[in-house]
């Protein structure tokens, strides 16, 4: 895979791309990541990339010319018939929400182009006539698209074949099956009086798998119940949830009765 990044601040990517999994993925040829300075395509002697908005208002807007020129330069080495198949993604708060499913979707493309927005945003003609997708990593505002681009790069690259030591690891990640991941333990077996669950030391692989599935399901039910709407569950797993919900109602019943009961006199 190749990932091209267009940014006003290419130095932002220098350290993250030179460490850990992203570094190894590039060294082994699993991914090629190229970072392009938008200033190189800026206008005039001062390499201008932004301007005041038509209609007034505060802030600056990124001009269309440098962005179009940068992307067209980046894609100039791609065959004309292949350019239409390359996603050109604007990192923007108005984009679709980035999820694990989107990461899997993007990992299947041989090439991606990421555009980091800044200031009050980009000229609307960039959205209408250049980008093919807009992505947001969450309902919050960043100073620019660079952190979002790094999040997407990291999430996508780790899904590429051969990047992780265990090829099955991404399949068991949190969100991979619309469930949060089960708890993990390592040595020592006892630390400050806290023991690793005995079942994990039993060597009974079927029982361990069942325990992990139950813990994954319970953690999701407690912390992200919205994910259960998309999860594929067995009848037994649905029975677990029904039992937990009944237990919760039993615990809450005295509190609720205390709040709604008649006032003392």
Enzyme catalytic residues:
93, 120, 158, 173
Strand ranges (E), the chain: 2-7, 32-37, 50-51, 61-62, 88-97, 111-116, 133-136, 190-191, 194-195
CB atoms within 10 A of CB 118: 21
Contact 54, 44 (CB under 8 A): no
Separate counts of helices (H) and strands (E) for the chain = 8, 9
Nearest in space to 152 (alpha carbons), one of 90, 110, 94:
90
């Amino acid at each position: 895979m190749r990932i091209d990044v267009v940014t006003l601040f290419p130095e932002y990517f220098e350290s993250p791309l030179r460490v850990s999994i992203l570094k190894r993925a590039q060294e082994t040829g699993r991914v090629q990541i190229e970072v392009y300075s938008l200033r190189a395509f800026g206008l005039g002697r001062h390499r201008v990339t932004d301007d005041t908005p038509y209609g007034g208002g505060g802030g600056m807007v990124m001009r269309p010319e440098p962005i179009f020129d940068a992307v067209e330069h980046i894609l100039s080495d791609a065959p004309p018939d292949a350019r239409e198949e390359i996603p050109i993604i604007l990192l923007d708060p108005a984009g679709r929400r980035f999820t694990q499913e989107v990461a899997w979707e993007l990992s299947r493309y041989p090439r991606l182009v990421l555009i980091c927005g800044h200031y009050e945003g980009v000229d609307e003609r960039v959205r209408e006539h250049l980008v093919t997708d807009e992505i947001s990593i969450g309902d919050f505002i960043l100073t620019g698209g660079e952190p979002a681009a790094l999040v997407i790069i990291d999430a996508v690259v780790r899904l590429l074949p051969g990047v992780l030591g265990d090829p099955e690891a991404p399949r068991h990640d949190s969100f991979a099956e619309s469930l949060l991941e089960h708890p993990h333990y390592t040595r020592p077996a006892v630390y400050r009086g806290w023991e690793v669950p005995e079942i994990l030391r039993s060597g009974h692989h079927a029982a361990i798998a069942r325990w992990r599935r139950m813990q994954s399901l319970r953690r999701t039910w407690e912390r992200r119940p919205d994910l259960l709407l998309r999860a594929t569950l067995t009848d037994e797993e649905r029975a677990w949830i029904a039992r937990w919900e009944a237990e919760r109602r039993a615990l809450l019943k005295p509190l609720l009765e205390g709040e709604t009961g008649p006032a003392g006199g």
